[in-house]
Amino acid sequence: MIRRSMMCMMFLVASIISSPTFSQLKIQLTQGVDAAMPIVVLPFVSETSDVPGQTTLSEIIRSDLKNSGQFRLIAPTVQKLMVSPSQSDLSTLKKRGANFVLSGSVRPLSSGKFEVSVQLINLYRESRSENSQSSFAVILQQQYTVNQQDLRVLAHHMSDAIYHNLTGVKGIFSTKIAYVLVSRPHQKPTTYQLMIADADGYNPRPLLTSYMPIMSPTWVKDGRHIVYVSFEGHKAAVYWQDIASGKRRLISRSPGINGAPSVSPDGKRLALVLTKTGNPKIYVMDIASRSIQQLTNGSSIDTEPSWSPDGNTLLFTSNRGGSPQIYQYDLSSTRIKRITFDGNYNAKASFMPNQSTIVMMHRDRSSFGIARQDLVSGRVEILTQSGSDESPSLAPNGKMVIYAMHSGQRGVLALVSTDGAVKLRLPAQAGSVQEPAWSPFLS
Within-domain flag for 385? yes
Instruction: For the beta carbon of residue 19, count every other beta carbon within 10 angstroms.
Output: 14
- Single out the residue of 78, 72, 79 nearest to residue 98, CA to CA: 72
Q: Which residue has the higher pLDDT, 391 or 13?
A: 391
Residue at a domain's end among 128, 144, 167: 167
Kindly state whether residues 79 and 212 are assigned to the same domain.
no
Within-domain flag for 29? no
pLDDT tens-digit profile of 283-320?
999 999 999 999 999 999 999 999 999 999 999 999 99
* Helix (H), strand (E) at residue 164: helix 151-167
Judged by DSSP in three states, 415 sits in strand
Kindly state whether residues 198 and 149 are assigned to the same domain.
no
Within-domain flag for 123? yes
Kindly state whether residues 297 and 215 are assigned to the same domain.
yes
Within-domain flag for 399? yes
Helices (H) and strands (E) in the chain, counts: 4, 30
* pLDDT mean over 218-245: 95
* C-alpha 126, offset from chain centre: 37
* pLDDT mean over 42-63: 88
Which residues, including other chains, have CB under 8 Å from residue 133's CB and lie 6 or more apart?
none
Within-domain flag for 22? no
Note the pLDDT of residue 119: 96
Within-domain flag for 161? yes
pLDDT at 73 over 50: yes
* C-alpha 210, offset from chain centre: 23
Note the pLDDT of residue 212: 82
Q: Residue 392: give its domain's CATH number.
A: 2.120.10.30
Parent domain of 62: 34-167
Kindly state whether residues 295 and 385 are assigned to the same domain.
yes
23-32, 33-42, 253-262, 411-420: range with lowest mean pLDDT: 23-32
40-49, 123-132, 224-233: range with lowest mean pLDDT: 123-132
Mean pLDDT score of the chain: 89
180-184, 222-226, 269-273: range with lowest mean pLDDT: 180-184
Cα–Cα distance between 356 and 5 in angstroms, integer?
Answer: 28
Kindly state whether residues 155 and 197 are assigned to the same domain.
no
Q: Residue 130: give its domain's CATH number.
A: 3.40.50.10070
Cα–Cα distance between 183 and 192 in angstroms, integer?
Answer: 6
pLDDT band with cut points at 50, 70 and 90 for residue 127:
confident
Kindly state whether residues 84 and 152 are assigned to the same domain.
yes
Note the pLDDT of residue 52: 81
Judged by DSSP in three states, 6 sits in helix
pLDDT tens-digit profile of 8-37?
333 232 233 333 344 566 666 566 556 789
Q: Specify the number of domains making up the chain.
A: 2
Which residues, including other chains, have CB under 8 Å from residue 121's CB and lie 6 or more apart?
85, 90, 100, 101, 102, 103, 136, 137, 138, 139
Q: Is the dihedral of CA 315, 318, 322, 325 positive or negative?
A: positive
Kindly state whether residues 56 and 13 are assigned to the same domain.
no
pLDDT band with cut points at 50, 70 and 90 for residue 233:
confident
Cα–Cα distance between 323 and 320 in angstroms, integer?
Answer: 7
